[in-house]
């Protein structure tokens, strides 16, 4: 299935892009993360949370969402 992955803040510095579309198997968030780690090797040194369809999810969550986002630490306010 086709998903959109969005990158923010220092994560976007690592990926050198703010978003991309990826064709992936229906899998878990953690499997998707392995794919991304392989593609962007500096990612593993970064602190981030993952949102699926705008809700934070854990690694063992099933990948169902059309929109995944890698979110570095929040700094609002």
Partner 1 sequence: MKDKKPIKSVFKEGAITSEFIGNSIYKHQTKTSIGAHNIFLGQVRADDIEGKTVAAIDYTAYEDMANEKFHEIRESAFEKFELTCMHIYHSLGTVKAGEICLFVFVSSPRRKVVFEALEYIVEAIKAHVPVFGKEIFEDESHQWKVNT
Q: Residues in the site for partner 1, rule: CB under 8 A?
A: 6, 8-10, 51, 54, 69, 71-77
User: Shortest approach of partner 1 to residue 70 CB, angstroms?
Assistant: 10
Closer residue to partner 1 (CB): 43 or 71: 71
Closer residue to partner 1 (CB): 6 or 43: 6
Put the strands of the sheet holding 67-71 in their side by side order.
19-23, 2-7, 67-71, 49-52, 55-57
Quote the CA–CA distance of 40 and 23 in Å, as a whole number.
17
75, 41 Cβ separation under 8 angstroms: no
Closer residue to partner 1 (CB): 38 or 73: 73
């Amino acid at each position: 299935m086709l998903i959109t992955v969005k990158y923010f803040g220092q994560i976007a510095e690592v990926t050198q892009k703010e978003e991309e579309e990826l064709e992936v198997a229906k899998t878990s968030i953690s499997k998707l993360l392995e794919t991304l780690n392989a593609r962007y090797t500096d990612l593993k040194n970064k602190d981030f949370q993952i949102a699926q369809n705008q809700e934070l999810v854990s690694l063992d969550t099933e990948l169902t969402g059309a929109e995944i986002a890698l979110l570095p630490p929040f700094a609002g306010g």
